Amino acid sequence: MTVKWTTLSLVLAIFSALPLFSWNARAQEQAESDLLSLSIGYFDAGDNQNALDARIEYRWGDPLVWVVKPWAGAEITSDGAIYGLGGLTADITLNERWTLAPGIGGGLYIDGNGKDLGSVIAFRSQLEALYALDNGQRLGIAASHISNAGIGSKNPGTEVLSLYWHLPVSWF
């Protein structure tokens, strides 16, 4: 429960602080490309039902409002869990290379032989640090919290640590 509120508080604080950051033109230009995002991670980090986590996401480059952009994706684990979801993310450009990307989302979760999150409806909050390469690719490291936000009879939640590789869709 503490981790859920801590993660939510962190995401809200970062979204609230958006006006405090300056926007670098080069990094902003790179960030405006639609991205195909691939990720590999460690599901249920720090708990007892660890699994390999793999994700594929589509991140739109055009913001809905200011720097807030939509994304959609799918996540699977080595325990057979499947999670289809979508949400919003914001690129907070720190300098020419580094960006912070807080995000929130929700979708449908099927646990397979993995961790039961207490509901088929699950929500994800995430904070990602990204490094922009010269060719438009971005590399990232992310920490995520996935839970049912208390809508189920139980809400164990889970943490996921991930490495991301973002590729401009224009390459394909």
CB of 163 within 8 A of CB of 39?
yes
Q: pLDDT tens, 70-102?
A: 999 999 999 999 999 999 999 999 999 999 999
C-alpha to C-alpha distance for 109 and 115, rounded to whole angstroms: 10
What pLDDT is stored for residue 2 in this prediction? Answer: 52
Q: pLDDT tens, 129-162?
A: 999 999 999 999 999 999 999 999 999 999 999 9
Q: pLDDT tens, 57-66?
A: 999 999 999 9
Query: Taking all residues of the chain, what is their mean pLDDT, rounded to a whole number?
Result: 89
Query: What mean pLDDT is predicted for residues 30-59?
Result: 93
Over 36-89, what HEC string results?
A: EEEEEEEECCCCCCCEEEEEEEEECCCCCECCEEEEEEEEEECCCCEEEEEEEE
CB of 166 within 8 A of CB of 101?
no
pLDDT > 60? residue 30: no
C-alpha to C-alpha distance for 53 and 42, rounded to whole angstroms: 6
CATH for the stretch 2-171: 2.40.160.20
Q: Which long-range contacts (CB under 8 A, 24 or more apart) does 2-6 make?
A: 3/145, 3/157, 3/159, 4/145, 4/147, 4/149, 4/155, 4/157
What pLDDT is stored for residue 32 in this prediction? Answer: 78
Residues 6+ apart with CB under 8 A from 79: 43, 49, 51, 111, 112, 113, 114, 115
What pLDDT is stored for residue 25 in this prediction? Answer: 43
72: burial class by Cβ within 10 Å (0-12, 13-18, 19+)?
middle
* β-strand partners of 22: none
C-alpha to C-alpha distance for 29 and 136, rounded to whole angstroms: 9
What pLDDT is stored for residue 3 in this prediction? Answer: 52
CB of 29 within 8 A of CB of 49?
no
pLDDT > 80? residue 20: no
Query: What mean pLDDT is predicted for residues 121-126?
Result: 98
Check residues 115 and 24 and name the one with the higher pLDDT.
115
